[in-house]
Structure 1
């Protein structure tokens, strides 16, 4: 048994560029796709946390997926986030994503109301069956207030509901146990595990993870591709050195002041992309605020220090 889509390597969660007027900047989004593919991306993940999906309208979501699919032109798979609070809402997004050409869906557990793992499992089954596309689970407890249990994930993998996991839980112990149990059950070929903990990608790959989904990879895709390739060839010393360089660059997520951590991180990514000439405008979706001049200056210094400017 093999998964319909086997994910590995560097999978960037694309930022969503806006015009100064708040519309989706499709020209900048197309340039971002080319920037990421040139940096070695093995797939493209639209409408994740870095893509501000929680702040977009349904129409904006459709525009993003349609643009990314068209720009990718079949060169790599396109993953589309269908993140929302309830199963009916997620199903609407999933059907839109399928109609606009996405290859894989990405969903969290339902949120706002607390859910039991059995309810979460039923949610994933309904989404997978309702849209007819492969489904990747997204574990991000700080945002949805529940942790995806490893046994549930692997059971859903064995039955064909899930093709993988993006693990942004930050729980390295749980990740290790999941990878050990995946091996014991012989599910490596049907269930990909991608780490979203972008400061410890080298450690996750050493444990057996298949790849990385890193927001900072919007800025430096080649860096995360190098970490993956070095790890795959067993050059762990070089992989650690590259991870250390990226860890220093990651300070750009803290460049903002007077704003939330999310706004500072996404604002930092977008400011960097504008300074690199990839996108035209660093605007963020309300209520998130963009970086001020001082923050942009800090981002510029970090780009220079990382050898990107």
Structure 2
């Protein structure tokens, strides 16, 4: 796999933290080893599951530099360069590429309302200044703007974008990009990745190139197995594996919605699972996210046991 042809399982790597909320580099590197041993095809650091929005600029650079040095080119390392404006994103692009990232993952600008024409200008400016390929990150729940399929395809045809990571939940638009990437005469080497761990089999069936599953931190072997089954056309077995992973994904609901948001529950569950599996030392999440209770952690353990992971 080259950076211009991303395929397979590319998990968004959790960022282990110490109890005082510093990056736990030894745990981070153990997590990377856990993912590599699980058969993943690339690593995406500083995404939503990585809690990138909560990390300082120095912590972001530390994460990228540590992971890139540790894998030593064994797998491509994609790094989020996520911020509100083009100028701020360009600063992150320079920092993470200097730290060793093989590609940058960039959302639409946010906070201010953004027109599709402004989104296109943003990506063209970023790509024009970036020393590494640019992956578009479609996550409207976080940036409040949906990347239009026609804009994505136009940018892909012009060589501005190397790939799309789609976390929009809009399956019709996702399929439009998949189809356009395959049929547009001007598009070559453009990868379309789904960010939904619950529909990997369906996404690959319609022509997606790969997946970026947050749950892949917990069970990378499962997602690598699912990818192999889909590519081999063993759809009954793939469906069964996808359904097992869907059941495991239920862990993201353990948090009490009366006292925490869905993000605290999901990230907390992933980190609790990694802690219970002995991969990371501490399940702490970044502030102001609410930590899971002991009872909620025990429920995470039950999901792991049911999936055969404890």
TM-score (norm 1): 0.97
> Is there any run of 5+ residues in structure 1 with no aligned partner, and where?
none
Structure 2 match to 1:38: 37
Cα deviation for residue 158 of structure 1 reads 1.2
Counterpart in the other structure of 1:254: 253
Alpha-carbon deviation of 1:6? 1.1
Give the CA deviation at 1:188.
6.4
Which ranges in structure 2 are unaligned for 5 or more consecutive residues?
none
Counterpart-to-counterpart distance in 2, 1:262 and 1:188: 35
Distance 1:38 1:56 in 2: 27
How many angstroms does 1:186 deviate by? 3.9
Pairwise CA distance, 1:123: 0.7
Matches within 5 A, 1:160-179: 160-179=159-178
Contact kept, 8 Å, 2:3 with 2:102, in 1: the verdict is no
For 1:128, the equivalent position in structure 2 comes to 127
Cα distance between partner residues in 2 of 1:172 and 1:188:
21
Asked whether the 8 Å contact 1:6–1:189 carries over to 2, the reply is no
Q: Does the 8 Å CA contact 1:157/1:190 hold for their aligned counterparts?
A: no
- Number of the residue aligned with 2:107: 108
Superposed displacement of residue 149, structure 1? 0.9
> Is 1:66 aligned with 2:46?
no
For 2:51 and 2:278, the matched residues in 1 are separated by 20
- Partners of 1:18 and 1:282 within 8 A in 2: yes
Residue 48 of structure 1 contacts residue 81 of structure 1 at CA under 8 Å; is this kept in 2? Answer: yes
Aligned twin of 1:271: 272
4+ residue segments displaced more than 2 Å: 186-189
1: distance between equivalents of 2:91 and 2:33? Answer: 29
TM-score normalised by length of structure 2:
0.97
Residues paired across the two proteins, number? 308
1:292 aligns with 2:290: no
Residue in structure 2 matched with residue 16 of structure 1 by the alignment: 15
Q: 1:154 offset after TM fit, Å? A: 1.1
Structure 2 counterpart SS, 1:45: strand
User: Once superposed, what is the RMSD of the aligned Cα atoms?
Assistant: 1.3
1:304 aligns with 2:305: yes
